[in-house]
Structure 1
Amino acid sequence: MAQALDVYHASLKEAQADPRVIAVQGASPFERLDWLALLTSHCLDEKKARVTIAADAQGCTALPWLEGKGRITALANWYNFFVGFLGDEIRLSEIVRRLPHGRALFAPLPKDDAAALAEAFRKAGWMALVEPCDSNHILAVNGRSFAEYWADRPGALRETVRRKSRKGEVNLRLVTQFSQTDWDAYEAIYRLSWKPGEGSPDFLRAWAEMEGKTGRLRLGIAEVAGQPVAAQFWTVEGGTAFIHKLAHDERFRKQSPGTLLSAAMFEHVIDRDGVSLIDFGTGDDPYKRDWMEDVRVRWRVRAWRKSSVRHWPSLIRALAAQRLRPLVSRNHHG
């Protein structure tokens, strides 16, 4: 006899009240309902945020999503390192079958999640395309101490840290509890940095405060003559250190406070927190290559419901572009 499957659409608040969904949350901010709820309340439209849940006696699967104009997208923005579903993929096709609208887009996805989600769309009668969309720089610690990791860094980087540390001009602090004074220093540095304007400063502050209460926060501050000149916002969870935000005051570039602070942060999470992975998020910034050793591709899944005739032109354009992409790539590199 087939197992009874309970499938329903829920708000984030309803999903947070379902113990079956709570049990399948992952070990990163981006797989936690409290983080998704915080992100939605500050950065997205709460009225359009949904979680589709499928549960039976064997377990639960949940897919967070956002309703848009004629399509659904991942419940995410630029703060997400990745998106995905919660729980196993067994019930994913039943979730997809009940999604509204005729188009869907989920990104950035880890490789296995992208493959599982695309297959679920196809089983549910949709057309689905999987394509690369971003890069994710990571460091697998592989049981090394910081000293062992540091010995493998580029010579120029190690020499910079050696020389600038010897001068003693930069004082470094790393805190694991949130304080408004420290966060004010972070925000002041960010405003003086080369970075573009912060998308949602209120969200970032609320997030740091939330992580501080659970001991997941790692906030680094570098000071010169008592003045904060560089800051980094990391979190540690599930054996992974996530590097969220870096900033430094360009006027103090000669002292290399950002580089010194990065070295101290890496040492802390490797030797004291004992993480197995450090995740530098998405983006192929050249400076990441000095610190990290591997790059993972992040993927995009686009899907069209076959019966949704009004979305066929979009599907045809996407299929044509995907067929042309290998040719364009060969011409570009050739």
Structure 2
Amino acid sequence: MAGDSPLQGRWEYRSFVEAWCHGAGSPDIVCDRPLFDRFGWLELLHRFCFSDRNADIVRVAESDAQAWLFLTETGARRRSALANWYSFAFRPVFDNASDPAIKARLLAAMTHSVAKRVAHIDLYPITEDDGTLALMMTALHDSGWSAVSRQMGINHFLDLNGRDFDAYWATRPGPLRTLVQRKGRGAPFDFTIYHDVTDSLWADYLTVYGKSWKPSEPHFPFLRALAQQQADAGTLRLGFARMDGVPVAAQLWTVQNNVALIHKLAHDIAYDAQSPGTLLSHHMFRAAIEEDLVMQIDYGTGNNRYKMDWMEAQRPLYRIDAYNLHFPVAWLPALRARISSLVAGRLTR
């Protein structure tokens, strides 16, 4: 450590096994940390979705406070967030660091450490309302990076604010409520929500997905491993709509800390006229609100119009591109990014 640094240590790891051996892998599947900040989630994501990339994990500590930044190597001097379309958010992970000043020091130390060997970092999806965007931009700026941010996505979510399901449902758009009432007459489907996952249930999920409108899914093994991980923790909610025993719609949710996350949904397009996906959503929302007593439901990334019928709020998702001007290879991309931000009126530091 440099003599003028208040930090006690900086560590860098190229695999999750290394990081696990140094304390990142403490059993956190049932802790209060949000899913996308957990070592278990990040390790699964790297193992199944980024196995062709080296992990680049940075850890710093000050007294009993520590911070982690989980990146992947996307080039000789380029790093990206360990995140993809399954990730609702990406942020540095802090332990015992509630003080904003400590967070700022830890994060500045991490970005300074990465600057010794990296010319370009890109991070997405970054949220603003929890302070992550400002924290990241300040740390990058203070450690010498040229950083710009731009909005690239939307996250739709619902805050219940103490409402029960009936009160929530009464505020939904009329066409949606009418559709559910009309298509639900006669109980055409059987609905079941499982808290575990078996080979048989997963085969049903794959059957529904294969008959849906969805594009080919490249990472079913990741989703299967995630479902098992969450089932073991008691947080899985795997929902099905069946007609005469045949699965025609499926949804993969998780519920923890009074928040429900909607990860994946699909339905058999042969049953479009009967709206099994919409009716299953109605059943899943009711169960999450009445049985799991969630306070928030998060529909993840993507600005799909159907999400607006169920959600009431949205937050922008940002991408940060940071360039290290100590490396000549970063000069031209940094200039282009800055000009683009100026033209768009979105320059941030």
- Residue 26 of structure 1: CA displacement? 6.1
- Comparing 198-207 with 82-91, greater Cα deviation is found at 82-91
The answer to whether the 8 A contact 1:27-1:237 is kept is no
Provide, for residues 60-112 of structure 1, a one-character-per-residue CA deviation record: whole Å limited to 9, x for no partner.
11100011113111011221111110014231000111112111111111112
Aligned residue identity for 1:78: W
Alpha-carbon distance in 2 for matches of 1:67, 1:314: 18
The answer to whether the 8 A contact 2:211-2:267 is kept is yes
Are 2:139 and 1:120 aligned?
A: yes
Which of residues 92, 111, 118 in structure 2 aligns to 1:101? 118
SS across alignment from 1:241: strand
Q: 1:20 to 1:169 in 2, by over 3 A?
A: closer
SS across alignment from 1:109: strand
Which of residues 7, 15, 19 in structure 1 aligns to 2:10? 7
Provide, for residues 239-274 of structure 1, a one-character-per-residue CA deviation record: whole Å limited to 9, x for no partner.
211101110001111211111100110111111111
Q: How does 1:286-305 map to 2 (within 5 A)?
A: 286-305=305-324
The answer to whether the 8 A contact 1:115-1:130 is kept is no
- Residue 47 of structure 1: CA displacement? 5.5
TM-score of the pair, normalised by structure 1: 0.93
The answer to whether the 8 A contact 2:189-2:276 is kept is yes
The answer to whether the 8 A contact 2:53-2:74 is kept is no
Alpha-carbon distance in 2 for matches of 1:193, 1:52: 40
SS across alignment from 1:17: helix
- Residue 156 of structure 1: CA displacement? 1.2
TM-score of the pair, normalised by structure 2: 0.89
SS across alignment from 1:297: strand
The answer to whether the 8 A contact 2:119-2:324 is kept is yes
Alpha-carbon distance in 2 for matches of 1:23, 1:318: 40
Provide, for residues 27-59 of structure 1, a one-character-per-residue CA deviation record: whole Å limited to 9, x for no partner.
332111111111111110366112100012141
Which residue number in structure 2 is paired with residue 17 of structure 1? 21
SS across alignment from 2:197: coil
- Residue 14 of structure 1: CA displacement? 2.8
Are 2:143 and 1:143 aligned?
A: no
Which residue number in structure 2 is paired with residue 74 of structure 1? 81
Aligned residue identity for 1:33: F
The answer to whether the 8 A contact 1:193-1:250 is kept is yes
Q: How does 1:1-334 map to 2 (within 5 A)?
A: 3-10=6-13, 11-19=15-23, 22=26, 27-45=33-51, 48-69=54-75, 70-87=77-94, 88=97, 89-90=103-104, 91-99=106-114, 100-111=117-128, 112-326=131-345
Alpha-carbon distance in 2 for matches of 1:66, 1:228: 38
- Comparing 284-293 with 157-166, greater Cα deviation is found at 157-166
Aligned residue identity for 2:18: E
Which residue number in structure 1 is paired with residue 100 of structure 2? none
Provide, for residues 195-253 of structure 1, a one-character-per-residue CA deviation record: whole Å limited to 9, x for no partner.
00012111111111111111110011001121110000011122211101110001111
Q: 1:84 to 1:313 in 2, by over 3 A?
A: same
- Residue 294 of structure 1: CA displacement? 0.3
The answer to whether the 8 A contact 1:178-1:213 is kept is no
Structure 2: give runs of 5+ residues left out of the alignment. Answer: 98-102
CA-based RMSD of the aligned residues comes to 1.9
Structure 1: give runs of 5+ residues left out of the alignment. Answer: 328-334
Alpha-carbon distance in 1 for matches of 2:314, 2:46: 29
The answer to whether the 8 A contact 1:220-1:232 is kept is yes
- Residue 19 of structure 1: CA displacement? 3.7
- Residue 23 of structure 1: CA displacement? 8.9
Q: How many pairs align?
A: 327
The answer to whether the 8 A contact 2:25-2:40 is kept is no
- Residue 2 of structure 1: CA displacement? 6.9
Alpha-carbon distance in 2 for matches of 1:313, 1:187: 46
Alpha-carbon distance in 1 for matches of 2:340, 2:32: 34
Alpha-carbon distance in 2 for matches of 1:55, 1:247: 43
Q: 1:114 to 1:320 in 2, by over 3 A?
A: same
